[in-house]
């Protein structure tokens, strides 16, 4: 019996797109792909901006600069969007879905901006919208949340979902180097962009938190501000303090339930205790840690970026979408919880590490401690280091409301004996 043919259009032949076409063209895996897709996958066009660039094994005949035309082809079964960015990617995806063509994308920016609307469009047109590679590269967290944990009540999702920042912070920890030095090294090695803002200031991680929270908590994927703090202010003294105290600094994206309908979503650096599973996620690796009421703690770990790893996740989606086409079915739309509400990051509590540079003079400690007390922030431990006629005091608080800690910082900055506030970073303890 001849197998059905699934016609695939790919927009983008960069790192991920070209790796995907390589995987689809790998003749040695023909049978495995055929079994998984229950169909023969045929790539019928590859949209790019410049057809003269070298494209590895991609046949020149497939290349086109008319990506809009490719996306609108009614004879496609699946459109794979690997161009990135919001426009024109959004128009391409919408055109395909309106024609009932299933879409696979790795585009977290697009999904975070209008994923719910696109998923609705897919459902109305009886086709699929898959986006496994949008979070964590090869790490299969989207499918795990959608299927294995579909019935679980999740309390918290916490991830190291940006390889660039994890690479930088891991190097700062292992080599004791300053942020600026390691950033340059990361840029030279291709781990950081020439303009690193999206990664180091947490925008990329915030988009991924949007995608994860939609599946774990039923929030909408639409343009929303998420409380965000990057890593550019992390100093080697903070990294050293963390190391000596048994912690490591990581950039984390968090979505956690507060009460029946409250949700805190945020991206920030955190001191993670060495006994926490996320503490050992180093270099460009990504990991997502999920705490469910019945499942308990779970963690997924793997390559968060790179053409090959990301293309494997895209390929899995293509095979899934192909099977659905053959079976004439499509995934159920995910649900949105209309009652779930974002709460202010200031209303969440945590242990905090705070470092303050003060004048080395009598009475300073009492004045500083008084400010903590006045704002209801209780000190768990304190360390003082002399630096000529100045001193640096590093505090760890007990669990404290973030807005009280902010008030403490503002009040400390007003003390004449305080030269500067070093850093204020949340602390995550090990799993109990």
Please report, as ranges, the residues that interact with ligand NAP according to CB under 6 A.
Answer: 11-17, 47-50, 53, 67, 82-84, 88, 106-108, 133, 137, 305-306, 310
Q: 3-state class of 271 per DSSP?
A: strand
Residue with tokens 């499942």: 295
Dihedrals phi, psi of 356, to nearest 5 degrees: -135, 130
Distance between CA 105 and CA 140 in Å, rounded? 14
Smallest gap, in angstroms, from Cβ of residue 10 to ligand NAP? 9
Decide whether 214 or 375 has the Cβ nearer to ligand NAP: 214
Annotated catalytic residue, options 208, 222, 243, 432: 208
Smallest gap, in angstroms, from Cβ of residue 249 to ligand NAP? 23
Distance between CA 199 and CA 186 in Å, rounded? 12
The answer to whether the beta carbons of residues 382 and 389 sit under 8 Å apart is: no
Distance between CA 151 and CA 381 in Å, rounded? 41
Smallest gap, in angstroms, from Cβ of residue 374 to ligand NAP? 46
Smallest gap, in angstroms, from Cβ of residue 5 to ligand NAP? 24
Q: 3-state class of 289 per DSSP?
A: strand
Decide whether 15 or 334 has the Cβ nearer to ligand NAP: 15
Distance between CA 150 and CA 162 in Å, rounded? 25
Nearest CA-CA partner of 298 in 268, 277, 273: 277
Active site (annotated) includes residue 171: no
Dihedrals phi, psi of 393, to nearest 5 degrees: -110, 130
Decide whether 9 or 137 has the Cβ nearer to ligand NAP: 137
Smallest gap, in angstroms, from Cβ of residue 69 to ligand NAP? 11
Dihedral angle, C-alpha 288, 293, 295, 301, nearest 10 °: 10
**Helix, strand, coil shares of the chain as percentages rounded to 5?**
40, 30, 35
Smallest gap, in angstroms, from Cβ of residue 89 to ligand NAP? 7
Decide whether 17 or 253 has the Cβ nearer to ligand NAP: 17
Residue nearest to ligand NAP (CB): 14
Decide whether 50 or 75 has the Cβ nearer to ligand NAP: 50
- Other beta carbons within 10 Å of 239: 24
Look up residue 196 and give its two tokens. Answer: 């690193």
Decide whether 97 or 402 has the Cβ nearer to ligand NAP: 97
- Other beta carbons within 10 Å of 150: 12
Distance between CA 349 and CA 401 in Å, rounded? 4
Q: Which residues are catalytic?
A: 208
């Amino acid at each position: 019996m001849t197998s059905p043919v699934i016609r695939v259009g790919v927009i983008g032949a960069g790192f991920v797109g070209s790796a995907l076409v390589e995987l689809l063209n790998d003749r040695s895996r023909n049978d495995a792909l055929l079994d998984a897709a229950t169909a023969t996958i045929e790539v019928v066009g590859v949209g790019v901006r410049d057809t003269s660039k070298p494209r590895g094994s991609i046949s020149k005949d497939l290349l086109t600069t008319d990506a809009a035309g490719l996306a609108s082809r009614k004879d496609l079964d699946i459109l794979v969007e690997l161009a990135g960015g919001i426009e024109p990617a959004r128009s391409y995806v919408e055109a395909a879905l309106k024609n009932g063509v299933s879409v696979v994308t790795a585009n977290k920016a697009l999904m975070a901006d209008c994923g719910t609307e696109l998923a609705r469009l897919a459902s109305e047109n009886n086709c699929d919208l898959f986006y496994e590679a949008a979070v964590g590269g090869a790490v299969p967290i989207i499918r795990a949340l959608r299927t294995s944990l579909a019935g679980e009540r999740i309390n918290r999702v916490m991830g190291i979902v940006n390889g660039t920042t994890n690479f930088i912070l891991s190097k700062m920890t292992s080599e004791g180097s300053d942020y600026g030095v390691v950033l340059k090294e990361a840029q030279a090695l291709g781990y950081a962009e020439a303009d690193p803002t999206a990664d180091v200031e947490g925008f990329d991680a915030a988009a991924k938190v949007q995608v994860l929270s939609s599946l774990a908590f039923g929030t909408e994927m639409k343009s929303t501000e998420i409380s965000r703090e990057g890593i550019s202010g992390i100093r080697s003294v903070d990294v050293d303090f963390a190391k000596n105290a048994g912690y490591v600094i990581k950039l984390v994206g968090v979505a956690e339930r507060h009460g029946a309908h409250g949700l805190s979503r945020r991206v920030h650096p955190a001191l993670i205790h060495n006994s926490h599973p996320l503490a050992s996620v180093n270099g460009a690796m990504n990991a997502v840690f999920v705490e469910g009421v019945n499942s308990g703690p779970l963690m997924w770990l793997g390559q968060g970026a790179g053409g090959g790893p990301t293309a494997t996740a895209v390929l899995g989606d293509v095979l899934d979408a192909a099977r659905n086409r053959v079976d004439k079915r499509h995934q159920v739309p995910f649900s949105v919880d209309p009652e779930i509400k974002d709460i202010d990051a200031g209303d969440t509590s945590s242990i905090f590490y705070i470092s303050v540079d003060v004048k080395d003079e009598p009475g300073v400690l009492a004045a500083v401690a008084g400010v903590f007390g006045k704002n209801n922030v209780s000190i768990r431990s304190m360390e003082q280091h002399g630096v000529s006629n100045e001193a640096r005091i590093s505090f760890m608080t007990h669990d404290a409301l973030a807005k009280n800690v902010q008030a403490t910082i503002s009040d400390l900055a007003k003390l004449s004996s305080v030269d500067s506030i070093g850093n204020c970073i949340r602390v995550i303890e090990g799993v109990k």
